[in-house]
Amino acid sequence: MRSHCAMILTLFTLLGILLPGAPAGAAPGIEPISGTEPVSGTELGPGAEPETAATEIPAVSFGPGEKMVYKIGYGLVNAGEGVLELIGTTEYQGHLCYHVQSRANSNRFFSSIYKVRDKVVSYFDVHTLYSRYFYKRLREGDYKKTVEISFDHEAELARYADGNVYETVRGVQDVLSAFYYVRIQDLGEGDVFELPAHSSRKTYNLKVYVRGKETVKVEAGTFDCYRVEPIMQGEGLFKHEGKLTLFVTDDQYRVPVLIKTKVPVGSIDVELKEYHPGRPLNPKP
């Protein structure tokens, strides 16, 4: 029971839920690009110089102040609440970045069984939308884990706070920035696209499938949505392999209003309760 309680909140913790922590063995459709062996002789450096080619800010429909509030359910049971928020912009190692934060908290009932207080932060470049910095703090029952990564796209390296450095690829995403990358795509039924994403000291090619369109009713309202199916596989205690479905609005905002997945003893739903639009730096027409 405890592992399922943890899984419910863990699924939301990375609302860039496309790749919430891939383990050492890749799931079908997620092919490892680089391994878990550190790059020998590489020291944690000060970061790359700002890119000169990307000078324009892409037109997007999200911006500082955007906030999404979700309720997390396990079957008919309300397990807790999650919040995904684009807090603003920040300068990181010479790059102007979006500052995004995801939080997941179990409610009083679930906390009596398995308390969860998780936080994930991403800084991704406002010009390229590449991830520049990633931070994850998990507090799940007695389990505690903190991960901090700086991405050097010019050197194609992921630099961890523990001193280890791993090969990656230019344009790599973390689990939260990947979510925003998907939101800027021109989706259409039958589309398939992929992106490199880094998690658990590996970089993967992640494929995302657009299956069709549906009308979805949630607490926040009724929305025409695209049904999007990435592949997700958790790590360690929370390992879970199976179909994950996201319903994102068929409009310029591409808001995920519902996330559904099956577990061996039921189903997990993450449902939008509130949406507060932000102020795009370069509004999409």
228 Ramachandran zone, left/alpha/beta (phi>0; psi -120 to 50) = beta
Rg (CA), the chain: 18
CB 132 within 8 A of CB 123: yes
Domain hosting 9: range is 2-37+56-276
The residue length of the chain stands at: 285
> Residue 26 domain-assigned?
yes
> Residue 194 domain-assigned?
yes
CA-based nearest residue to 242, from 9, 3, 27: 27
- DSSP secondary structure letter of residue 116: B
Q: pTM (2 decimals)? A: 0.80
pLDDT higher than 80, residue 18: no
> Residue 42 domain-assigned?
no
Residue 265 corresponds to which amino acid? V
> 36 to each of 161, 172, 280, how far by Cα in Å?
15, 16, 37
> Residue 227 domain-assigned?
yes
CB 204 within 8 A of CB 32: yes
> Residue 247 domain-assigned?
yes
* Cβ neighbours around 18 below 10 Å, total: 26
Mean pLDDT, all residues of the chain: 79
> Residue 281 domain-assigned?
no
pLDDT band at 225 (very low <50, low <70, confident <90, very high): very high
What 3-state DSSP class applies to 27?
A: coil
> Residue 272 domain-assigned?
yes
* Domain count within the chain: 1
pLDDT band at 16 (very low <50, low <70, confident <90, very high): very low
The residue with greater pLDDT, 69 or 238, is 69
pLDDT in the model for residue 113: 86
What would the mean pLDDT of 234-240 be, rounded to a whole number?
Answer: 35
Instruction: Report how far residue 125's alpha carbon sits from residue 17's, in angstroms, rounded to the nearest whole number.
Output: 19
pLDDT higher than 80, residue 5: no
Instruction: Report how far residue 86's alpha carbon sits from residue 101's, in angstroms, rounded to the nearest whole number.
Output: 6
> Residue 51 domain-assigned?
no
Instruction: Report how far residue 61's alpha carbon sits from residue 99's, in angstroms, rounded to the nearest whole number.
Output: 15
What would the mean pLDDT of 98-122 be, rounded to a whole number?
Answer: 92
Q: Which residues pair with 260 in a beta bridge?
A: 245, 269
Angle at 239 between CA 39 and CA 113, to 5 degrees: 125
